[in-house]
Each structure stands twice: as structure tokens, then as C-alpha cells.
Chain A
Amino acid sequence: MKFRSVFDIIGPVMVGPSSSHTAGAARIGRVARTLFGRQPEWAEIRLYGSFAETYKGHGTDVAIVGGLLDYDTDDERIRTAFEEAEQVGLKFEFITESDEPEHPNTAKVRIGDAKGEMELTGISIGGGKMEVTELNGFTLRLTGHYPALLIVHHDRPGVIASVANALAADGINIAHMECGRKEKGEMALMVIEVDQIITDSMIRLITDLDNVTQVSILAD
């Protein structure tokens, strides 16, 4: 079941005009912002497919920048996100690509500041829903049928078990799970698809675990 909640159907409350090109785009930007963990100083955003063709008319650009400023889909500041970005010192650039993407609504977001950078690819799948398909070179293979969590953590023994235990204690069943890391002992990540809806309290619970650095919803 791709759609679980009645509010996937009656909702989201959003700034128009398009659930896929505006709301979904804002959510991609916001996930990038959440995973980065702080306000980035610069952003390079590549748009593919229908995003590249029609982004101006749909406000896809202001929506993504709004997301990078941590605005939700129903934040009216999305309309003036460019001005707000200037005020907080976020420099951004949009590049339209002609490569044929796998999904028609694809955005590749590279953000950073003096301390580091991050790259994320997101797709907007309709009705305001989105999925992250790539993070810092890791391809995230989601089945797309379940809500999914991304957990970035230090590569230490027991982290995976503690996350699995925390989910189990909350009555959450894991449907599919992938773990990956770049180098032993460095940054690692987990992608977990679950049977239940992901709640804010679940995210807080996992964020508080030892060695977990960031938690974000990859697919809702």
C-alpha cells in the first residue's frame, strides 16, 4: 500500500500550484536540510525531466530553496524563499539538465558550508509525496511500497541492533533494511522500510540513540 493515511488523499495543506512540482519539491529540499543538520551556506540544484522543463511556472525553484530553509509545504514564506535565502546567507544556483532521468521529477541537490557538504537525489512521486534515491553516492534502493527511514550514524558495533530494538519496542515492524558505509569506522547509513506510519516521536527516539547523527523520512 503506497497510501496509508487519509491525509495522503485529503492533504497536504500546501502552497500551490502543484503537489508534485511544488509540495514534493519543497519536501526534497527539506529532507536535504534535515540530513545536513544545519543551515547550508550554498546550494547547487540540478533539475531533470519535467522539473527541468516546467520548474519556473510551478515554483519548483522557490519550493526547493524554501525546503532548504526548513519550510514545510504549507509555509507561505515559500513564495519569497529567494529573498529569505539572501537574508540568511544561502547562495544557490539552479542548473537544468537534459539527461533523461529514471523518474520524470528528479532533483539533485548539493549543499554545503565551511564544515562540509552533502549531495542528495530526490524524486517527487505525486500528491506531494517524495523519495530519496541517492545520498552522498550511496544508491538507496527502496521498494517504494512502504514508509522509509534514513539513519546516518557512526560505524560502531551495536548501532544497528539498538535501532532495531527501538523500533520493535514501539511496535514497528521492519519490512526491508539496507546498511552501507564508505569506510570502516566512519560514517554509515541505514535505510529501513517499515510497515507502520513513521511518527515524529519515533524519529526523536532514534535520534537520541548513541552514535546516531541524523534521522530523516525518506518516503512517507
Chain B
Amino acid sequence: MDILFSTVKELVGLAEESGRPISELMIEQEMQITKRSREEVVAQMERNLEVMEEAVEKGLKGVSSTSGLTGGDAVLIQNYIKSGKSLSGDLLLDAVSKAVATNEVNAAMGMICATPTAGAAGIVPGTLFAVKNKLNPTREQMINFLFTSGAFGFVVANNASISGAAGGCQAETGSAASMAAAAIVEMAGGTPQQSADAFSIVMKNMLGLVCDPVAGLVEVPCVKRNAMGAAKALVGADMALAGVKSVIPTDEVIEAMHRIGRSMPSALRETAKGGLAATPTGKRLEAEIFGKKAEESVVD
């Protein structure tokens, strides 16, 4: 196997030695592994970018899920931004609304690009399309944003997990937010090490997050966890660009996430048996949606 990197340390080391950005190393590795040309690999990522753009556009017009649990919040947030009253900042809220838009489309059985999963699909595009308005990237730089996100996700997926059933929400939205932070740093002109620091800063704040979806659906609280994941990604990227470093190296943070995931009880790993799913309201919604008697669906 022609793997160039399997840890973040190797990835950053290689980028520093060669003076090439992380996105470039990801493209090269992909070409080697799949024996495809650069054009083919880049074209596939461009198609993913297009799907992400369409999902955000669709979500910002307002959608509603089959269960009726989610939909319409992206529109509310956009209208609030336009009112000029936002406290946390327009760019940050724009990212939040676009992350929400994507996940609302996902919940409505719309077309999305899993990044790294469907349940966490809002964070990477949400931050990308918000940062785009400030940094005015070229199309190529936007595609590179996805390759850099993918490079960090590749390390997480192989050394820990990106599955909520295996590692909780920290493995899904946690990974997505950390990947996005690293990619924002690269797009903003930061160094590979700053990308790694941004990744670590965000992941450290996602550790322990459980996967407890109401009725087992990718809706509550998933959509709002994408919202907050996008916010953390932006703040983490800004901190790293300001020069803040992570005391714990990135690979050790990833290892910690893996260990925490393995010690999580199964009730908190996508079984809809614990956490928010097990609240009285969570159980009532489950009973309403699946037509079960409330008593039958009580699990603990």
C-alpha cells in the first residue's frame, strides 16, 4: 500500500519537509492508492463540493423532515443575521445556519455528501461556505478545503473511529468539527502545524460527546450538534491562527477520543436508549413517530 501518512505527526512532518500543503499530500496519496489521475481525483471531489452547495441552497429555502422533528431553523438563523442583531458575529452564525441547512436536507431524505458521516454532514460545508465570503477562495482552494478535511478524517477513521455506534457523537460531529477547523486554517494561510493545533483544540472540546438520537433518527439533537460543531470549528481555527497551541499532540488527542468511545456504554452509542433519547419527551416522540405504545418503548 502506498500510504504517505497514517498519523497527524507524519502528515504535518511531510508537509513541512516538502513545503506542500496538506491538501496536496492527500491528493497525491489518493492518486497512488486508487491509481487514478489527478484530474479524476479532483473531479470527484468537485462533484462532492457541488452536492454540498446544492444541499445548503436547498436547506436555506426551508425543508421539513418526514417525522416533522426538524426543518426550518436554517431560515430562522439567516433572517436573524439579516436583522443585524447577531451577538456572536455574522460569519459564525452564517456557518451555523449553513451547517443546519445541510443537516435539515439530510433529515428530509435529500441529497448530501457524508463528511465523514451523514449525521455530521453539515459542519465541513457549513464552515466552508461561510468562510468563503470572507476569504474569497478560488474553486481550487475550495476543493482543497475538502481534501485537507479528508486528510485529518482519514487519520481519525483509521486510528480511532468516525462512527457514532462505535465511538459516540465525538467520533462523528467531533471529527467533522476538528477536520473543518484544520481546513479553515489552511485556507486562511496558516501552517500545517496550526491546522493540527486547530484540530486538537476543537477535538478536545468534543471529547465525551455521546450519541443519543431521539427515536434513533438523525435529527434531534444531531442538527443542533452540527450547528455547534461549526461554531467550535471556527473558534478553534481562529485560536490556532492567533498562535495558540495544543499542549496534547493531535495523535494523542485522537487516541484519547478512541479510548473514551470504547468505554462509553452502548446506551450512549446510537442505540437511542440513553441520554436525550431516554428523556420523557424523547420517549414520547419515539412513540408518536413509530406508533408504539409509550410503555413498550421505555428502555433503561
Contact = CB atoms under 8 A, between A and B. Distances in A.
A3 B150 CA distance: 11
Contacts of B44: 7, 11
B157 interface: yes
Interface in B12-58: 26, 29-30, 33-35, 41, 44-45, 47-48, 51
B150 A79 contact: no
A110 B238 CA distance: 53
Contact of B118 (A2, A14, A54, A79): A14
A10 B180 CA distance: 11
Interface residues of A, number: 43
B157 to A, nearest CB: 4
B92 interface: no
B106 A16 contact: yes
A10 B149 CA distance: 8
Interface stretch (A39-47, A136-144, A177-185, A193-201): A193-201
B206 interface: no
A205 to B, nearest CB: 14
A12 B117 CA distance: 9
A169 interface: no
Interface string A95-126: 00000000011000000000000000000011
B66 A23 contact: no
A15 B113 CA distance: 9
A1 B270 CA distance: 24
Residue of A23, A54, A58 most packed against chain B (CB within 10 A): A54
A182 B228 CA distance: 55
A176 interface: no
A29 interface: no
Nearest to B145: A10
A16 B1 CA distance: 32
B162 A10 contact: no
Contacts of B215: 54, 57
Nearest to A54: B216
Interface in B103-160: 105-119, 121, 124, 146-147, 149-151, 153-154, 157-158
Nearest to A104: B165
B111 A13 contact: yes
B217 interface: yes
B6 interface: yes
B246 interface: no
- Name which of A9, A57, A74, A105 has the most chain B CB atoms within 10 A of its CB: A9
B157 A3 contact: yes
A166 to B, nearest CB: 16
A10 B218 contact: no
A5 B31 CA distance: 9
Contacts, number: 165
B115 A14 contact: no
Contacts of B106: 16-17
Contacts of B33: 4-5, 196-197
A9 B154 contact: yes
Contact of B163 (A1, A127, A199): A127
Interface string B152-196: 011001100111011000000000000100000000000000000
Contact of A11 (B1, B107, B113): B113
Nearest to A22: B118
Given A5-B34, A10-B149, A79-B109, A127 B116 contact: yes
Contacts of B1: 1, 4, 195-196
Interface string A181-217: 0000000000000011101000000000000000000
A8 interface: yes
B201 to A, nearest CB: 20
A15 B66 CA distance: 13
A104 B108 CA distance: 24
Contacts of A23: 114, 118
A58 B147 CA distance: 29
A83 interface: no
Contacts of A11: 44, 48, 113-115
B219 interface: yes
B298 interface: no
A17 B30 contact: no
A12 B114 contact: yes
Given A4-B33, A10-B115, A126-B117, 8 more contacts: A7-B150, A10-B113, A16-B109, A17-B109, A18-B118, A20-B163, A57-B216, A58-B217
21 contacts: A2-B157, A2-B158, A7-B45, A8-B154, A10-B115, A10-B147, A13-B48, A13-B114, A14-B118, A16-B109, A16-B111, A16-B121, A17-B107, A17-B219, A18-B118, A19-B114, A53-B272, A58-B216, A58-B217, A58-B218, A126-B163
> Which 5 residue pairs are nearest across A and B when measured between Cβ atoms?
A126-B163, A16-B106, A54-B216, A9-B153, A6-B150
